[in-house]
Chain A
Amino acid sequence: MAFQGTLVIDTEKCKGCGVCVETCPNKVIALSKKVNKKGYNYLEMVKEEACIGCANCAVICPDGVIEVYRAKY
């Protein structure tokens, strides 16, 4: 049994601090080269298939922009 996870990121609220990027065990997330309306490089998933839904990124996020889903297969 394994877990497959995914994130829903509220890119307009993300401030691009990058604290979550350090905490991801599988390097799933990274800061985008694009910016949101406020001019921050927002968070995006770069290796979606590697996400295990551990929610480390969501737990550390100061602005609560990450929603985590996890399914067993």
Chain B
Amino acid sequence: MTREEIIKPENLVYRRTPVLTDNIMHYCPGCGHGTIHRLIAEVIEEMGIQDKTIGISPVGCSVLAYNYFDVDFVEAAHGRAPACGTAIKRLNPDKYVFTYQGDGDLAAIGTAETIHACNRGENITMIFVNNAIYGMTGGQMAPTTLLGMKTATCPYGRTVEANGYPLKITELIAQLPGTYYVTRQAVFTPAHVRKCKKAIRQAFENQNLKKGVSFVEVVSNCNSNWKMTATKANQWLEENMLPFYPLGDLKTPEK
């Protein structure tokens, strides 16, 4: 079969979703943010809620997320996305509200907002991208940085004596009664990407039930600040991050 015979609308298997805009993303080559953006956009397209979705972008690499989604967006102050999401959801209970945050935003400066929004049981979806480093500001140590991992502010590796332990914020909030669905996913192989999309879809659908926060942590890479190529970073992620941040559901809805 020739190429022209195959390229027909009825043979289409996969295309870029129209919920993403045509802008070229500013993320580094191979960054997991692009994949996670696409998954959220695909879920919005499949559920047909493009005109009923409001996103909240954080401060960090994904601060410009509103340039890439063709949905309504609000840019919150550093770490305050859950507080902003609370207000939007309470004023517009029929809209789908999601926050998109990195580990510096959600687990460091925004810890109070995150924990209290989860404890109040706000009916929002939170997407938490964990790459164990501050990406935008140049690779400083984050609360989620692994022990022994080298960053700009711990150049000899993170130690317990000097820097304390890495924070597993997802395990922490899974204990709170206000959360309904808590899961940890990754996006470094096609199989994990497909699983992650199912989890994000579940998290958006849970908003119809009005039972509390749906929280999806996505373990992602930062190849620029890890100082690796994109493929090497994905291998490093599998070997070093996954033993400490095991994938799977931490809290599933009771059936």
Chain A interface (Cβ within 8 Å of chain B)?
4-6, 8, 10, 13, 15-19, 21-23, 40, 48, 53, 55-56, 58-71, 73
Contact = CB atoms under 8 A, between A and B. Distances in A.
A71 B13 CA distance: 10
Interface in B79-102: none
A29 B3 CA distance: 15
A6 B231 CA distance: 23
Contacts of A18: 30, 229-231
Nearest to B23: A13
Nearest to A10: B16
B13 A40 contact: no
A60 B34 contact: no
Contacts, number: 94
Interface residues of B, number: 35
B31 A71 contact: no
B244 interface: no
Given A60-B35, A69-B6, A4 B1 contact: yes
B30 A71 contact: no
A61 B35 contact: yes
Interface in B1-41: 1, 3, 5-8, 11-17, 20, 24-25, 27-35, 38
B189 A68 contact: no
A28 to B, nearest CB: 13
Interface string B163-198: 000000000000000000000000101100110000
Contact of A70 (B3, B6, B25, B34): B6
Contacts of A59: 14, 190, 193-194
B68 to A, nearest CB: 10
B234 interface: yes
Contacts of B230: 17-19
Contacts of B1: 4, 71, 73
B216 to A, nearest CB: 17
B67 to A, nearest CB: 14
B191 to A, nearest CB: 9
B127 to A, nearest CB: 15
Contact of A19 (B8, B20, B30, B38): B30
Contact of A65 (B16, B28, B35): B16
B200 to A, nearest CB: 14
A14 to B, nearest CB: 9
Contacts of B231: 17-19, 21-22
A63 B13 CA distance: 17
A8 B230 CA distance: 22
A70 B211 CA distance: 41
B217 to A, nearest CB: 18
Contacts of B13: 5, 53, 55, 58, 68-70
Contacts of B6: 4-6, 69-71
B34 A62 contact: yes
A63 B24 contact: yes
Contacts of B24: 13, 63
